[in-house]
């Protein structure tokens, strides 16, 4: 049984997803479509948006209306199957405070990249985590590249023009849950970038944006931190980084961009739920959810059940609170919950380590794609999760009958144990063994 938790503190630089407040006095209700207007009228509500065809809606009331009272009335209405607040969610990122913890960037290792990616930066292809996870072995031995599988990335949107990602993106099935449109790309035209060609720099959240002309594997204590990213939204590159890690593991898999968070990291439960239904209905076989919340919701549980029934495997990050408390959706069965490990197989100091963590994957100084043909290094369970989602895509490609429960068994079997004494069960992902088990 998995437990519950608080959220990543910005000081710890976590890429978690925290329940914050009601979003514009909006609620999520589940009611039969034939009576939704009657229910809304009775309770003085306006139907803002239909999330699912079978009757999940976002409704709103007048500004500052008595949310608690209306929720109680809705829950007492026999026509209403469920009603809950549409909570605001945030994606706080890693901050430069981590540089003071004594951790340094890992040294680069020379590994043979699995399959050539045109124009990809060598440190992205040969970073230590790739070798530790045996990604090149899995790809070269089994020719496992993820052909025929689509991975939905529910996040802040993806840079459609990053040359590494262009061949992989499923533009036609992309969806923006925030604007209810088909454009889940980033608006790069209005972003006030500061041009810095010679130094690594840090964005507003502290994610380290790397210079492509040099190999900046340097100790963070001596890194020339600059204030160039003052105007960069806090979570601007999050979705692009997550997509880049999925692509690194499963380069032939399609990536479906689903935008449920703004570039400042804010979003709502309703948008996440809509994203899950969209992914399932538009052909995704795997869903990456690099976010977490301290409590669940009826609508979120229903969405996960819908994905499971369709044979879609969901992978979610736990949190970065250094806690054993549970988070959602990682806590919802059969979602595969992922914790962050170091490159020497210890638990990352920030990662949660409770029952939600069913598999571990590297989450320290992970290098991935970043908007405007850049790369960045990130810390957090958010970046561990796409390693697992990409692996599940390889497994699905090798065995189309692989379901969520079997996939969990296959990634856990033969997984090397962590060295941290507090981690009693479940090991670190081994991509080679997972694909072999799936076959």
Task: Supply the pLDDT for residue 62.
Answer: 83
pLDDT band at 8 (very low <50, low <70, confident <90, very high): very low
* pLDDT tens, residue by residue, 181-202: 999 997 544 454 444 443 344 4
Q: Report the share of the chain in percent with pLDDT over 70.
A: 77
Task: Supply the pLDDT for residue 104.
Answer: 35
More confident residue, 100 or 421: 421
Instruction: For residue 33, give both structure tokens.
Output: 């479509």
Tokens 């593991």 found at: 249
Does residue 341 contact residue 347 with C-beta atoms inside 8 Å?
Answer: yes
Task: Supply the pLDDT for residue 296.
Answer: 83
Report CA 295 to chain centroid distance, whole Å: 17
Instruction: For residue 52, give both structure tokens.
Output: 């699912």
Which of 124-138, 164-178, 224-238 is predicted least confidently?
224-238
Q: Which of 24-33, 64-73, 168-177 has the highest mean pLDDT?
A: 168-177
Task: Supply the pLDDT for residue 174.
Answer: 97
Task: Supply the pLDDT for residue 327.
Answer: 87
pLDDT band at 279 (very low <50, low <70, confident <90, very high): very high
Task: Supply the pLDDT for residue 90.
Answer: 64
Q: Give me the domains of the chain, ranges plus CATH numbers.
A: 21-88 (3.30.70.1140), 96-438 (3.40.50.200)
Query: In the predicted model, is pLDDT for residue 111 greater than 80?
Result: no
Query: In the predicted model, is pLDDT for residue 319 greater than 60?
Result: yes
Q: Are strands 56-60 and 18-31 parallel, antiparallel or unpaired?
A: antiparallel
Query: In the predicted model, is pLDDT for residue 219 greater than 60?
Result: no
Task: Supply the pLDDT for residue 190.
Answer: 47
Residues 72 and 83: their CA atoms lie apart, in Å, by 9
Task: Supply the pLDDT for residue 431.
Answer: 98
Task: Supply the pLDDT for residue 200.
Answer: 43
pLDDT band at 108 (very low <50, low <70, confident <90, very high): very low
Task: Supply the pLDDT for residue 63.
Answer: 78
Query: In the predicted model, is pLDDT for residue 13 greater than 80?
Result: no
Q: Report the share of the chain in percent with pLDDT over 90.
A: 59
Per-residue pLDDT, averaged over 86-106, amounts to: 44
Residues 237 and 232: their CA atoms lie apart, in Å, by 9
Instruction: Provide the whole-model pTM.
Output: 0.85
Which of 13-27, 78-92, 235-249, 404-418 is predicted least confidently?
13-27
Task: Supply the pLDDT for residue 228.
Answer: 39
Task: Supply the pLDDT for residue 22.
Answer: 40
More confident residue, 196 or 340: 340
* pLDDT tens, residue by residue, 112-121: 333 446 678 8
Task: Supply the pLDDT for residue 38.
Answer: 97
Per-residue pLDDT, averaged over 409-433, amounts to: 96
Residues 245 and 249: their CA atoms lie apart, in Å, by 6
Query: In the predicted model, is pLDDT for residue 241 greater than 50?
Result: yes
Q: Find all residues with CB under 8 Å of 238, minimum gap 6, and list them.
A: 15, 91, 93, 155, 156, 261, 265, 290, 382
Query: In the predicted model, is pLDDT for residue 231 greater than 80?
Result: no
Residues 172 and 153: their CA atoms lie apart, in Å, by 14
Residues 376 and 348: their CA atoms lie apart, in Å, by 19
Report CA 392 to chain centroid distance, whole Å: 14
Tokens 């190999």 found at: 215
Q: Find all residues with CB under 8 Å of 144, minimum gap 6, and list them.
A: 138, 250, 394, 397, 398, 435
pLDDT band at 267 (very low <50, low <70, confident <90, very high): confident
Instruction: For residue 19, give both structure tokens.
Output: 């329940």
Tokens 């989450």 found at: 363
Nearest to residue 434, comparing CAs of 82, 97, 142? 142
Helix (H) or strand (E) holding 255: strand 254-259
More confident residue, 261 or 432: 432
Query: In the predicted model, is pLDDT for residue 340 greater than 70?
Result: yes
Strand, coil or helix: 174? coil
Query: In the predicted model, is pLDDT for residue 262 greater than 70?
Result: yes
């Amino acid at each position: 049984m998995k437990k519950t938790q608080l959220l990543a503190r910005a000081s710890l630089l976590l890429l978690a997803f925290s329940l914050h407040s009601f979003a514009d006095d909006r609620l999520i209700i589940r009611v039969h479509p034939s009576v939704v207007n009657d229910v809304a009228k009775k309770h003085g509500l306006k139907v803002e948006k239909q999330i699912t065809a079978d009757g999940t809606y976002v409704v709103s009331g007048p500004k500052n209306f008595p949310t608690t009272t209306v929720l109680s009335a809705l829950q007492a209405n026999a026509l209403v199957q469920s009603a809950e607040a549409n909570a605001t969610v945030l994606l706080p990122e890693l901050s430069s405070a981590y540089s003071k913890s004594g951790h340094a960037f890992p040294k680069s290792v020379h590994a043979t990249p699995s399959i050539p990616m045109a124009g990809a930066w060598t440190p992205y292809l040969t970073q230590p985590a790739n070798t530790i996870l045996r990604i090149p072995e899995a790809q070269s031995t089994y020719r496992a590249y993820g052909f025929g599988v689509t991975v939905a990335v529910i996040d802040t949107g993806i840079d459609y023009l990053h040359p590494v990602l262009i061949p992989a993106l499923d533009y036609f099935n992309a969806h923006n849950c925030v604007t209810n449109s088909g454009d889940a790309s980033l608006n790069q035209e209005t972003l006030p970038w500061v041009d810095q060609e010679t130094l690594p720099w840090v964005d507003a959240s502290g994610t380290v944006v790397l210079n492509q002309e040099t190999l900046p594997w340097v100790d963070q204590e001596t890194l020339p931190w600059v204030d160039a990213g003052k105007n960069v939204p806090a979570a601007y590159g999050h979705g692009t980084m997550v997509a880049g890690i999925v692509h690194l593991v499963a380069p032939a898999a399609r990536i479906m961009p689903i935008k449920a968070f703004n570039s400042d990291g804010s979003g709502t439960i309703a948008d996440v739920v809509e994203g899950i239904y969209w992914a399932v209905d538009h052909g995704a076989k795997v869903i990456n959810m690099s976010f977490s919340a301290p409590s669940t919701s009826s609508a979120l549980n229903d969405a996960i059940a819908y994905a499971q029934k369709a044979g879609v495997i969901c992978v979610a990050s736990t949190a970065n609170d250094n806690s054993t408390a549970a988070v959602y959706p990682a806590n919802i069965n059969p979602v595969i919950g992922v914790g962050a490990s170091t490159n020497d197989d210890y638990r990352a100091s920030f990662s949660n380590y409770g029952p939600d963590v069913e598999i571990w994957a590297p989450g320290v100084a992970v290098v991935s794609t970043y908007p405007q043909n850049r790369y960045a290094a990130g810390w957090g369970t958010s970046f561990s999760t796409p390693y697992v989602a990409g692996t599940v895509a390889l497994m699905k490609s090798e065995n189309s009958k692989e379901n969520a429960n079997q996939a969990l068994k296959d990634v856990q079997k033969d997984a090397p144990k962590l060295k941290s004494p507090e981690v009693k069960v479940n090991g670190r992902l081994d991509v080679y063994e997972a694909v072999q088990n799936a076959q």
